[in-house]
Amino acid sequence: MAAVGGNLKEAREAFYARLKKRHMSPLWTVLHDLVSDTPRRDMQAAIWRYADVRDYLMEAGELITAREAERRAIILENPSWPGEARITPTLYAAIQLVLPGDVAPAHRHTQSALRFVLEGEGAFTAVDGERTRMHRGDFVITPSWTWHDHGNETTEPMIWLDGLDIPLVYYMNASFAERGAADRQEVTKPEGDAPARYGSGLLPVDYKARPYATSPVFNYPYEAARAALDRLAAAGRFDPCHGIKQKYVNPATGDYAMPTIATFLQYLPKGYSTARYRSTDATVFVVVEGNGHSMVGETRFDWGPNDLFVVPTWETVTHHPAADTVFFSYSDRGVQEKLGLWREDRFGEAPA
């Protein structure tokens, strides 16, 4: 021991410096940061008012065309990570505008994407040769590496939320993308083919579902989902932490509709304040209907239709609706569950 009887601090610093030159480092100086007792608190809760975002979107519509932009969208960045295009550690959020006559050109990429329609009726998205018309509240999927384009042949703007696993794919350095030869892909299937073939309680006789595959149904209409929530609410069984919360599923497997992004629809009746809850999946909430407020830790967020807020990892949240309320939400819960990492804390409340 060269440092015995000498200056131990200087000896250690000299040792660490020699390690650094060899691209090594001592575990004991960083162990508690790498293997923390609880999840890091390095992201912030935040809220975006739809009215504000919409104003910026309409201004963007005057400044750049959909073809020039490829996707005319405004990214919602977590305040903790400016410039990183992340709303949670693994997920991205943006609000996209498609004006009457716009064409968002065909492309494909390894990132999986969801659309949740905030405003407008009747514009279309096309996924792998099939078009679907979009309506407010619809949840629409673009699976990884599938051709997709959007168009608006109506007379009103169409605005939706884009949620992607861009940060997750970036961390794994598995990003690939390809632009189409034409703005619009060839339509090879009739509208409504996917829901008829896969979403009616029937499946093709020889269909083989792959584990962790994206749902073959790529449009989940809000009208049907909202009716299901009403029927469940009539039964009167409300979870203390969630009210009524259903997950969107792949009808062929019962798993989440997307392999990397878990999506949910949640109903809270007027005056139903939820019990404290926290989980390891940082979650993005969109107010589909209703108004009220949520307490995220010690921060109060007052919200109304189309407002969007994010709850950080392992942060407590309670919801307090002043009117009957519906939330759409998404997170990386599906990935965490498959890796055995997901955890929740209901603070003594048992699920209903």
Mean pLDDT within 38-44: 95
pLDDT tens sequence across 69-113: 889 999 999 999 999 999 999 999 999 999 999 988 999 999 999
Phi and psi torsions of 115, nearest 5°: -120, 135
Q: What pLDDT, on the 0 to 100 scale, is given for residue 66?
A: 86
pLDDT tens sequence across 250-265: 999 999 999 999 999 9
Looking at residue 339, the DSSP 8-state letter turns out to be T
pLDDT tens sequence across 202-233: 999 999 999 889 999 999 999 999 999 999 99
Per-residue confidence band for 5, with pLDDT thresholds at 50, 70 and 90: low
Domain boundaries, the chain: 46-345
Tell me which residue of 33, 43, 122 sits closest to 77, measured CA to CA: 43
Instruction: State both tokens at 314.
Output: 């392992």
Q: Are strands 219-220 and 139-142 parallel, antiparallel or unpaired?
A: antiparallel
Mean pLDDT within 131-156: 96
Mean pLDDT within 344-351: 83
pLDDT at residue 350 is higher than 70: no
Q: Edge-to-edge strands of the sheet including 299-303?
A: 299-303, 292-296, 317-321
pLDDT at residue 4 is higher than 70: no
How many alpha carbons lie under 13 Å from residue 238 in its C-beta half-sphere? 18
CA–CA distance, 303 with 339 (Å, rounded to integer) = 34
CA–CA distance, 161 with 114 (Å, rounded to integer) = 8
Q: What pLDDT, on the 0 to 100 scale, is given for residue 255?
A: 97
Tell me which residue of 183, 191, 180, 181 sits closest to 130, measured CA to CA: 191
CA–CA distance, 256 with 232 (Å, rounded to integer) = 20
Mean pLDDT within 152-167: 97
Q: Edge-to-edge strands of the sheet including 308-311?
A: 46-48, 308-311, 283-289, 325-331, 262-268, 244-247
At 1 the three-state DSSP class reads coil
Torsion of CA 20, 23, 24, 25, to 10 degrees: 50
What is each CA distance from 327 to 126, 212, 263, 289, 321, in whole angstroms?
26, 25, 11, 7, 11
Is there a contact between 313 and 332 (Cβ–Cβ < 8 Å)?
Answer: no
β-strand partners of 345: 278
Percent of the residues in the chain that have a pLDDT greater than 90, as a whole number:
93
Q: What pLDDT, on the 0 to 100 scale, is given for residue 2?
A: 54
Angle at 246 between CA 243 and CA 248, to 5 degrees: 160
The pTM is what? 0.95
Average pLDDT along the chain:
95
pLDDT tens sequence across 322-332: 999 999 999 99
Tell me which residue of 317, 269, 281, 258 sits closest to 47, measured CA to CA: 317
Least confident of 58-67, 77-86, 294-303: 58-67
Mean pLDDT within 296-307: 98
Q: Are strands 177-179 and 139-142 parallel, antiparallel or unpaired?
A: unpaired
CATH placement of domain 46-345: 2.60.120.10
pLDDT at residue 306 is higher than 60: yes
pLDDT at residue 351 is higher than 70: no
Mean pLDDT within 310-335: 98
Q: What pLDDT, on the 0 to 100 scale, is given for residue 67?
A: 83
Mean pLDDT within 189-199: 96
CA–CA distance, 249 with 214 (Å, rounded to integer) = 9
Percent of the residues in the chain that have a pLDDT greater than 70, as a whole number:
97
| Burial bucket for residue 154 (CB in 10 Å: 0-12, 13-18, 19+) | middle
Q: Where are the alpha helices (DSSP H) in 149-274?
A: 166-172, 193-198, 222-235
Mean pLDDT within 183-189: 93
Instruction: State both tokens at 125.
Output: 């998205």
pLDDT at residue 159 is higher than 80: yes
Q: Where are the alpha helices (DSSP H) in 64-106?
A: 66-69
